[in-house]
A and B are shown apart, each in its own frame.
Chain A
Amino acid sequence: MKNNKIFYFVVILIIAIFFVLLLGLKEEKNYSPQSDFKKLNSSISLEELYSGKNIFLNDLLINNELNLINIWASWCLPCKVEHPYLINLNEKFDVNLIGINYKDNLENSKNFLSDLGNPYDEVLIDKDGTKSIELGAIGVPETYLINNENKIIKKFIGPLDLDDYENIINLIKK
């Protein structure tokens, strides 16, 4: 029967296409928004969390070869997840870790740090979130590795995981 042959052909063809597409799904395809900012605009001033003094971000960056800026908030669940990595980084390595507290309640953020530990060398607060935007943040948490010339070496969007952590260590050791 001619029709039977066509039938089997169509079925086999469809199943073959299915498997090819299934394999295609396994390929990694990360979509990252393109940004032209390779350099951080650090000429902004922010209030310090505990003292309330205004501090220029460049002053904190210029003396250290490597800086890690971490944007976080106490209401942000993923920030809690990545917190232990930040604590480890601060304890074990010589990197200037600056925390920027994003759109947060002052009390909550202090409690957050006293409960979970404070990994930061400096904590700056960004009350309305506008300063973080100028830094190029998409959301919280975000972590940037920056040298003293404001060049962004690596940008981590979303919470740090083990891979990112090892990645940072490798970059620091270089």
Chain B
Amino acid sequence: MINQIGAYSLYVCLFASVYLIFKSYISSKNFDKKIDQTFFATLSVQLFMTILSFFTLVFAFIFSDFSNITVFNNSHTLKPLFYKISGTWGNHEGSLLLWLLVLTIFLYIFFVTSKNMNIRYRILTILFQEIIIFGFLLFILFTSNPFLSIFPIPEEGLGLNPILQDPALAIHPPLLYVGYVGTSIIFSASLAALITKSVDNIWASHIKNWILISWIFLSVGILLGSIWAYYELGWGGFWFWDPVENVSLMPWFCLTALLHSIIVLKNRNVFHSWTVILSITTFSLSMSGTFLVRSGILNSIHTFANDPSRGVFILTFLLFLVLLAVFVFFFNQKNFPNTYQRSFLVSRETGILINNWFMMFFLSVVLVGTAYPIFLEVINDAKISVGPPFYHKLIVPFLIPFLFFMALGPNIKWIKDTIQKRNISQIIIFFLCFVISFFIVFNTNTNYLFSTLLFTFSFYLFFNVINSFKKKNSNLSQKISHLGFSIFMLSILFNGILSKENSANMKVGDEINFLNKKLIFENVKVENDSNFKKLIGEFKLKENEKIIHFRPEIRVYSQPETITSEADISSTLFSDNFLVFSLIKNDGFFNVRYQHKPLMIWIWISVLLMSIGGVLSFLKLNEK
């Protein structure tokens, strides 16, 4: 029963989508002066049906209806309710349904909130967005239908991937999806704006809201994924340059560039075609992300399903959308307004342009690192793995000029400014930063000029942003975001040079001494939890008079059987102490890894600060 409701409502959506595509195409051809009432009605029906279909699946998960094959494959009666619900999008079929849901909700909100925009622009946005929705509907219904029935009805489900049973990860996909899908509106809207010759500053302030929403959700989504990897995978880092992590980072770079260039478009009415190119690229990268994750072309912890027909579908659909965008772009180039604005070298525009260059550079590094192994394997049959050293070597040196320009940029005026005026105070600040950095790096063993420079420029940015809070111009959101970024850089740097690690094989009763610390392995207990068995290690770390207790776990999940290590982390504002242990073959011995990570919590806080900046900017825009 539930399966039928879900599937039929998706078919209704499909019809609504076909109708809207034709309707909006004809309407835009005729240059209609009024928006037909049926648009609103059909969009509402489509939205309602998608919500209905999504909640049908959620209910099937909550009540463990194993007649549904998605529920059977991904759920289990023993699972806690929260993870039953999050199981809805913890699998391929359900996550696509969620994707579709966000697509329709966003289109609806767009339609309702864009009433004062050009009519043909709104209709064309519906057209492009409906093409995307149509593609996803076909994809869901014909290659990954979540509402297939299974008969006879099994008594028990096969469980959800246990490493996905985690609160951070349960809400990580929806947030990331809102970010990804938000870029679809930007894509459709910029194509529509291009055709209707309305790429200008009015359009920019209208679309900036959507860019902000996508950017905020993408940032928080990536943050949650990163936090999850930190304590669940037990590797003790926050970013591993895993292909699927990179795939979410690429649209983020692009979106960040877009967020900056749209400000120029809004204030100065320049950068028209560049903004549109960025919009198209951002969405293409989000779609490629879906393709890479969902097709199984990448080897990664995120690859669940491995069905080539799905990959072929998304890839073909992606090709179609990108080509469509390229055609629209090239055939409407004459529609870009010819507003020549005189620009000067020293101006805010140049600063933002430099930001865009750097974003594009970081983006291409990550793109090459992620895509090149795939290409090489296809062409040459060679398997290579691109790891952190590649990214670090290519990205880190360029952070130095990036930080420098970031410190200067926001203080420069639009159109034309002079460099001379605040030279002396800047040089003093800079010199102070250098001295501080020198002593920090000098006191650790990493005595490199390079890290001194990185520290210097990070501090320089930090103090510049702090300084700018004194000024009364209202751009609080930008200051908070930039403050977030400078704290982010500083905490990564401190974390990088001050982290300490010790790894040893221990058995119960062992004691080891390192770096003035004493680690005692006191006991191992076995306990049963609702759907897993766990080994709990009891450790004691003595440092001078301070004692920290650790209780890391090794979990053996039942359905499906997977072993995960749960690190025990004691966090303070200054540092994290991280302890994880894992099974090794020699009986009674465990591999115990201890890490001391300074300022770890500030990495999360700083990314949150950046996002809060985005939220402030969004709210302020809506006040007007």
Interface positions of A (Cβ within 8 A of B) = 3, 6-7, 10-11, 14-15, 18, 20-27, 29-31, 33, 35-36, 75-77, 103, 105, 129-130, 133, 136-139
In the assembled complex, which residues on chain B have CB atoms less than 8 Å from the CB atom of A27? 297, 377-378
Interface range on chain B (Cβ under 8 Å from partner): 35 or more
Q: In the bound complex, do residue B156 and residue A14 qualify as a contact, i.e. CB atoms below 8 Å apart? A: no
A3-B330 in contact given A25-B295, A33-B560, A139-B560 (Cβ < 8 Å): yes
Contact assessment for B326 and A10 in the assembled complex, using a CB-CB cutoff below 8 Å: yes
Contact B159 A139 (CB under 8 A): yes
Which residues of chain A have C-beta atoms less than 8 A from B424's C-beta? none
Query: Do the beta carbons of B326 and A36 come within 8 Å of each other?
Result: no
A136 to B561, CA, bound (A): 6
Q: Judge whether A103 and B155 touch: CB under 8 Å.
A: yes
Q: How far is the CB of B331 from chain A (nearest CB, A)?
A: 9
In angstroms, Cα B585 to Cα A3, docked, is: 64
List the 4 closest pairs (A to B, CB-CB), nearest first: A138-B560, A133-B558, A25-B311, A7-B330
Residues of chain A lying within 8 A (CB to CB) of residue B559 = 129, 133, 138-139
Q: For chains A and B in complex, what number of residue pairs have CB atoms within 8 angstroms?
A: 95
Q: Give every chain B residue within 8 A of A11 (Cβ-Cβ).
A: 323, 326
- Let me know if B299 is at the binding interface, CB within 8 A: yes
Known: A23-B378, A25-B315, A75-B156. 12 other contacts (CB 8 A): A7-B326, A10-B326, A21-B315, A24-B297, A24-B375, A29-B306, A36-B585, A76-B154, A103-B155, A130-B558, A133-B559, A133-B561
Which residues of the other chain, B, contact A23 by a CB distance below 8 angstroms? 378
- CA of A14 to CA of B322, assembled, Å: 8
Chain B residues, Cβ within 8 Å of A26: 308
**CA separation between A36 and B308, bound complex, in Å?**
29
CB nearest to A26 among chain B residues: B308
The yes or no answer to B389 lying at the interface (CB within 8 A) is: no
* Residue B616 at the chain A interface, CB threshold 8 Å: no
Known: A23-B378, A29-B296, A75-B154. A3 touches B315 (CB 8 A): no
Q: What are the residues of chain A within 8 A of B303 when measuring CB–CB? A: 29, 31
Alpha-carbon gap, A21 to B318, bound state (A): 11
Complex Cα gap A25–B306 (Å): 10
Which chain A residues border B316 with CB–CB below 8 Å?
A: 18
B45 in contact (CB, < 8 A):
no
- Give complex CA distance A17, B419 in Å: 45
15 contacts between A and B (CB under 8 A): A14-B319, A14-B326, A15-B319, A18-B319, A21-B315, A29-B297, A29-B298, A33-B560, A33-B561, A35-B561, A35-B563, A76-B154, A133-B561, A138-B559, A138-B562
Which of B291, B378, B558, B583 meets A129, CB within 8 Å? B558
In the complex, chain A residues whose CB is within 8 Å of the CB of B326? 7, 10-11, 14
| Bound CA–CA A77/B333 (angstroms) | 58
Is B374 located at the chain interface by the 8 A CB criterion?
Answer: yes
Residues of chain A lying within 8 A (CB to CB) of residue B131: none
Say yes or no: is B150 at the interface (Cβ < 8 Å to chain A): yes
**B562 partner residues in chain A, CB cutoff 8 A:** 33, 35, 138
Nearest opposing residue in chain A for B560, CB measure: A138
Chain B residues closer than 8 Å to A77, beta-carbon distance? 150, 152
Kindly identify which residue among B291, B375, B585 contacts A20, using a CB–CB cutoff of 8 Å: B375
Nearest-Cβ distance from residue B240 to partner chain A, whole angstroms:
16
B312 near A22 (CB under 8 angstroms)? Answer: yes
A14, A25, A26, A138 pick with most chain B CB within 10 angstroms: A25
Residues of B within 8 A of A33 (CB): 560-562
- Tell me the B261-308 residues at the A interface (CB within 8 Å): 291, 295-299, 303-304, 306, 308
Q: Is B333 a contact partner of A3 (Cβ separation < 8 A)?
A: yes
* Inter-chain contacts of B561 with A (CB < 8 A): 33, 35, 133, 136-138
Q: CA A35 – CA B533 in complex, angstroms?
A: 15
Residues from chain B with Cβ under 8 Å of A25 in the complex: 295, 297, 308, 311-312, 315
Q: Could you tell me the distance in whole angstroms from the C-beta of B322 to the nearest C-beta in chain A? A: 6
Quick one: which of B89-125 are within 8 Å of A by CB?
Answer: none
Using Cβ atoms and an 8 Å threshold, which residues of chain A touch B560?
Answer: 33, 138-139
A-contacting residues, B350-390, CB 8 Å: 374-375, 377-379
Given A3-B333, A7-B330, A22:B315 Cβ within 8 A:
yes
User: In the complex, are the beta carbons of A31 and B333 less than 8 A apart?
Assistant: no
Q: B412 contacts the other chain (Cβ, under 8 Å)?
A: no
Chain A's closest residue to B292 (CB) is A21
CA gap between A13 and B154 in the complex, in Å? 49
* Assembled-state Cα–Cα distance A149/B319 (Å): 54
Q: Which residues of B contact A6 (CB under 8 A)?
A: 330
Residues in B with CB closer than 8 Å to A29 are 296-299, 303, 306
1/0 per position for B539-564, CB-CB distance to A under 8 A? 00000000000000000101111110
Residues of B within 8 A of A105 (CB): 155
Residues of A within 8 A of B377 (CB): 24, 27
Bound-state CA distance A7–B585 (Å) is 59
> Which residues of A sit under 8 angstroms from B492, Cβ to Cβ?
none
Residue of A nearest to B158 (CB): A139
Q: How far is the CA of A155 from the CA of B332 in the complex (A)?
A: 59
Question: Which single residue of chain A is at the shortest CB-CB distance from B585?
Answer: A36
Residues of B within 8 A of A14 (CB): 319, 322-323, 326
Q: How far is the CA of A14 from the CA of B330 in the complex (A)?
A: 14
Query: Which residues from A are CB-within-8-Å of B323?
Result: 11, 14
- The CA-CA distance from A129 to B158 in the complex, in Å, is 12
Which of A21, A33, A136 has the most CB atoms of chain B within a 10 A radius of its CB? A21
CB closest chain-A residue, reference B157: A139
Most buried by B among A20, A76, A105: A20
> How many whole Å from A20's CB to the nearest CB in chain B?
5
Interface string of B149-176 (1 = CB under 8 A from A): 0101011101100000000000000000
